[in-house]
Amino acid sequence: MRIAECHLESEAGSPYSSSRNHEIPKKEKESADVHDLRTWRERAHYDDDTKEVYIPSMAFKFALMDVAKRLNLQIPGRGKSTYAKSFTQGVLCVERVMLGVKVDAMQAVRVYCHADGVRGSGKRVFRTFPFLPKWKGILRVMLTDDLLPKDIFERVLRECGMVNGVGRFRAGNGGLNGRFRVTKIKWADTME
């Protein structure tokens, strides 16, 4: 097993924005607009105790899987087999990517979007989402598949940052947000 400690930073002009679902009820006689403006910070992922904002590890896991599948890199000596399965079964993003920012420090962006979140479905409404213009954090990844070389993992991670990103309105879904660059990768054989 190999451990990759990946240092990430947002690309210029590509903020991070989240859209976590929350269940904070409306107050009596509170309109949907007022409720949205009162609770928009709850759309961020943050630690309940420290209030520090994070990106869920699964956001990176799914992003890496998507990019590995799209790149379709073949495993030498294995016919048409690709590394996509290695990223699905042999890559574990083991912890949240803490961003070093408190939820109260996040900025708000108001977006005119589909009421049900489905493109082309009809009615549109304003929604407010938290966002960070710049962000950085450390992604810790466990590679359990011996067929997956470090250089292929690094290539997919770097590509992931450029073409897929993470979060709401990310590049992989046709947006502009969530793109990142890899500034450093430290390799180890065990978790510290």
The rounded average pLDDT for each run of 10 residues, N- to C-terminus, in the chain (192 residues) is 96 96 94 94 98 98 97 94 96 96 97 82 90 97 95 98 96 95 93 61
pLDDT for res 117: 73
Domain of 183 in residue numbering reads as 2-188
In this structure, the dihedral spanned by the alpha carbons of residues 63, 139, 40 and 24, taken in order and rounded to 10 degrees, is 90
Question: What's the CATH number where 38 sits?
Answer: 3.30.70
pTM of the model: 0.93
Half-sphere exposure of 77 (CA within 13 A, CB side): 1
pLDDT for res 166: 98
Query: What is the distance in angstroms between the CA of the first residue and the CA of the last residue of the chain?
Result: 14
Note every long-range contact of 32-36, with CB atoms under 8 Å and residues 24 or more positions apart, other chains counting.
32/125, 33/126, 36/126, 36/127, 36/128
pLDDT for res 168: 95
Q: In the chain, how many domains are there?
A: 1
pLDDT for res 191: 62
pLDDT for res 137: 98
Closest CA to 142 of 133, 132, 153, 131: 153
* Residue 165 · residue 177 · CB < 8 Å: yes
Burial class (CB in 10 A: 0-12, 13-18, 19+), 93: buried
What's the Cα-to-Cα distance from 89 to each of 99, 147, 165, 166, rounded to whole Å?
A: 27, 11, 21, 20
